[in-house]
A and B are shown apart, each in its own frame.
Chain A
Amino acid sequence: MRQIKATNGEKVGILKRIPHDKKLFFMIAPFLVLVLIFSYFPLYGWVYAFYDYRAPLPLSKCDFVGFKWFKFLFANKYQIAEVVRVLRNTLAMSGLGILTSFLPLLFAVFLNEIKSKRFRKFVQTFTTLPNFISWVLVYSVAFSLFSTTGMFNNLLMELGWISEPLKFLDSDSHTWLTMLLWNIWKTLGWGAIMYLAAIAGIDQELYEAARVDGAGRFKLIRHITIPALLPTYFVLLMLSIANLLSNGMDQYFVFANSFNKQHIEVLDLYVYNLGITSARSLSLATAVSMMKSFVSVTLLCVVNFMSKKTRGESIV
């Protein structure tokens, strides 16, 4: 230390003696530690799936049970029915989402047909807003408008169309459909933005040329606009297939109640209910999310492989 100080004639620390390449590494090392702790180390938590873990006890005092929890999921017909129910909800919500995934594309295409810039701006501004509010707020909105004492029921009763309030929220009818509609309400405008950006990038001369050839509005849409948007659509579709099992839990959690529980409980919510709400078994919940992770990673690989095969481009 002292020697270096003397030769350089300035204040230097031990840092100067570390080679430059290692020094750069040490600067990012603290962040890599964060990645290790919050992304890799939790994977170690999967061992809980093989134990009968009881919350306050250390793992060493718990019984090792092997694949008990994995077998338990399929052990009897009630348990199987439960798994089937949750999977059906998950796939239904994701499936409906995929089936309606063309809506943002159409939204963009038809918005583009509107000539008034002001009106377009107006539509875009207000249809994107719901995307930036939380699901809790969406539920707050839903509650104000559709609860038994909400605005909608009051309006219908005042008009004399109904005598008893309709149960929009505390009922199990059309749960999947209502969830889909809320989801569309929240994300449609936002989803269209990427397509609008893509449309803005289409060469205008293509349109001019087609018009000269006598193509009308719908021909232009069909033969120029939509083909230009398909690559983007394809990538998003692939990603949503990879996310088939992960539809998140915020939306379903806030809308869930004892009436619609049967049809709203998706996988992510099921894991939460299993592990935290009912505290039935942390180990069982871990086993479920572990299987989910495996399926998700496999799906991602398959989709990526398909994308490479068909388009020569990977998506991840």
Chain B
Amino acid sequence: MEENEKRDGKSVYKKDPVFTIINYSLFFIFTLICMYPFYYLFINSISANNLSSSGDIVFFPRQIHFQNYRQVLQIRGLMTAAYVSVFRTSVGTVCTVLASAFLGFMFTQEKMWKRKIWYRMLVITMYFNAGLIPMYLIMMRLHLVNKIWVYIIPAIVQPFNIILVKTFIESISKSLQEAAEIDGASVFKVFYKIVLPITKPILATIAIFSAVNQWNSFQDTLIYITDQKLYSLQYVLWTYINAASAIATQMKNSFGSAVNGAAIATTQTPVSVQMTVSIIVIIPIICVYPFFQRYFVKGIMIGSVKG
């Protein structure tokens, strides 16, 4: 018996097929629960709207059409919001990645005047927070309320990302600290020529996680923005859900029960708009997702410390 197990460590497991079956099924069910909602939104956004608004599309799309996407893309507010979201995601990510790389590198420069004080001053900010109202009042004073820069500027300096870059640089090369002092090479040149290339893995992690954060961010629009032209996609989606919900209630009140929202297959309804926009908002996440998975473990450190 013992010898048998020594030869094949897995033999122990073959003895309890019940466990294996239960284990597989539980994971399978949970995975389906995680997947299905996205699938549901997708098949409904491409099915006939009269079928989807009466909840007939459950497993497979029927009477497939892409009118919803064509029509939704013509909603002006939505396109503006898409530009805003793309802008904040790209510019915001580039800014914070460059700033994190630069500051992370600079804080490894032992020669810097009072380096430790500045570093501590930065790190401590992770652990306190003035609160919503003081932040709002500051933004108002800086005239950032209802400006697109409110999405970008406050998010540039991220202490945890800087710590990541700093420890990364320290872990791979001590000589970098001196590199900047070598005669002839300016600090910026060293940063550009040496630091940026070698910190690429950690910068990729930071980039991906800040991009997802920027894309998903909703609260800042809610608090600082009242100008419709500056709404982010997430916020617009939220208004569409509310509209869909209000109309669903109205219909229920006037017809007694939920009835078809759409007379013809391609007529837009608030629900079809809400589902279609949801899919549009998810698509970028799904697109970067495969690249993403490599950085998960590093990324979770970011998540856990930031709380």
Instruction: Enumerate 11 A-B pairs (CB-CB under 8 Å) in ascending A order.
Output: A21-B113, A115-B13, A119-B27, A135-B218, A144-B37, A144-B44, A154-B54, A217-B13, A239-B304, A271-B132, A289-B134
Question: Known contacts being A150-B55, A185-B34, is A143 close to B131, with CB within 8 Å?
Answer: no
The 8 closest A-B pairs by CB, nearest first: A45-B134, A154-B55, A289-B131, A42-B130, A134-B216, A39-B125, A24-B112, A149-B258
Per-residue interface assignment for chain A, residues 74 to 110, with 1 indicating a CB less than 8 Å from any chain B CB and 0 otherwise? 0000000000000000000000000000000000001
Cβ < 8 Å to B, chain A residues 236-254 = 236, 239, 242-243, 246, 249-250, 253-254
**Complex: chain A residue closest to B278, CB-CB:** A140
The 8 Å CB contact of A42, one of B134, B181, B300, B303, is: B134
CB of B197 to closest CB in A, whole Å:
20
Cβ < 8 Å to A, chain B residues 228-287 = 234-235, 237-238, 241, 244-245, 248-249, 251-252, 257-258, 261, 271, 274-275, 278, 281-282, 285-286
**A293 and B114 within 8 A (CB):** no
**B16 and A214 within 8 A (CB):** no
Question: Known contacts being A20-B181, A25-B113, is A190 close to B300, with CB within 8 Å?
Answer: yes
The 8 Å CB contact of A293, one of B130, B156, B187, is: B130
Q: Given A25-B113, A35-B125, 8 more contacts at CB 8 Å? A: A31-B102, A32-B122, A129-B38, A134-B215, A141-B41, A145-B40, A193-B300, A254-B218
Cβ < 8 Å to B, chain A residues 21-50 = 21-25, 27-28, 31-32, 34-35, 37-46, 48
**A42 and B248 within 8 A (CB):** no
**Complex: chain A residue closest to B296, CB-CB:** A193
List of A residues within 8 angstroms of B23 by Cβ: 110, 113-114
**Complex: chain B residue closest to A215, CB-CB:** B12
CB of A213 to closest CB in B, whole Å:
9
List of B residues within 8 angstroms of A25 by Cβ: 112-114, 118
**A282 and B133 within 8 A (CB):** yes
**Complex: chain B residue closest to A188, CB-CB:** B30
Q: Does A148 contact B (CB under 8 A)?
A: yes
In the bound complex, CA of A127 to CA of B28 (Å): 10
What is the interface of chain A mostly: helix, strand, loop, or mixed? Answer: helix
**B132 and A289 within 8 A (CB):** yes
CB of A151 to closest CB in B, whole Å:
5
The 8 Å CB contact of A243, one of B157, B275, B296, B307, is: B307
**Complex: chain A residue closest to B212, CB-CB:** A132
In the bound complex, CA of A208 to CA of B157 (Å): 48
**B34 and A130 within 8 A (CB):** yes
Question: Known contacts being A24-B112, A35-B121, A43-B130, is A127 close to B31, with CB within 8 Å?
Answer: yes
Q: Does A316 contact B (CB under 8 A)?
A: yes
**B113 and A22 within 8 A (CB):** yes
Number of A-B pairs whose CB atoms are under 8 Å?
Answer: 280
List of A residues within 8 angstroms of B244 by Cβ: 143
In the bound complex, CA of A25 to CA of B281 (Å): 42
**A144 and B125 within 8 A (CB):** no
In which size bucket is the chain B interface? 35 or more
**A145 and B37 within 8 A (CB):** yes
Per-residue interface assignment for chain A, residues 139 to 162, with 1 indicating a CB less than 8 Å from any chain B CB and 0 otherwise? 111011101111101110010000
Question: Known contacts being A25-B112, A127-B30, A137-B237, is A155 close to B133, with CB within 8 Å?
Answer: no
Q: Does B153 contact A (CB under 8 A)?
A: yes
In the bound complex, CA of A132 to CA of B282 (Å): 9
Q: Does A194 contact B (CB under 8 A)?
A: yes
List of A residues within 8 angstroms of B35 by Cβ: 126, 129
**A126 and B132 within 8 A (CB):** no
List of A residues within 8 angstroms of B154 by Cβ: 38
**Complex: chain A residue closest to B188, CB-CB:** A27
**A31 and B5 within 8 A (CB):** no
Q: Does A216 contact B (CB under 8 A)?
A: yes
Per-residue interface assignment for chain B, residues 13 to 38, with 1 indicating a CB less than 8 Å from any chain A CB and 0 otherwise? 10010010001101110110111011
List of A residues within 8 angstroms of B30 by Cβ: 123, 127, 188
Chain A residues engaging chain B, CB cutoff 8 angstroms: 20-25, 27-28, 31-32, 34-35, 37-46, 48, 110-111, 113-115, 119, 122-130, 132-137, 139-141, 143-145, 147-151, 153-155, 158, 165, 185, 188-190, 193-194, 197, 207-208, 211-212, 214, 216-217, 235-236, 239, 242-243, 246, 249-250, 253-254, 268, 271-272, 275-276, 282, 285-286, 289-290, 292-293, 296-297, 300, 316
What is the interface of chain B mostly: helix, strand, loop, or mixed? Answer: helix
In the bound complex, CA of A22 to CA of B122 (Å): 18
In the bound complex, CA of A290 to CA of B132 (Å): 10
Q: Does B64 contact A (CB under 8 A)?
A: no
**A289 and B34 within 8 A (CB):** no
List of A residues within 8 angstroms of B55 by Cβ: 149-151, 153-155, 158
Interface-located stretch among B73-81, B135-143, B166-174, B198-206: B135-143
Question: Known contacts being A140-B241, A154-B258, is A48 close to B137, with CB within 8 Å?
Answer: yes
**A275 and B132 within 8 A (CB):** yes
The 8 Å CB contact of B129, one of A34, A135, A190, A293, is: A293
**B274 and A143 within 8 A (CB):** yes
Question: Known contacts being A127-B31, A211-B5, A249-B219, is A133 close to B282, with CB within 8 Å?
Answer: yes
**B127 and A300 within 8 A (CB):** yes
Q: Does B182 contact A (CB under 8 A)?
A: no
The 8 Å CB contact of B234, one of A136, A165, A217, A286, is: A136
**Complex: chain B residue closest to A32, CB-CB:** B118
The 8 Å CB contact of A119, one of B24, B223, B235, B252, is: B24
CB of B291 to closest CB in A, whole Å:
12
List of A residues within 8 angstroms of B138 by Cβ: 37-38, 41-42, 45
CB of B28 to closest CB in A, whole Å:
8
**A37 and B142 within 8 A (CB):** yes
**A48 and B109 within 8 A (CB):** no
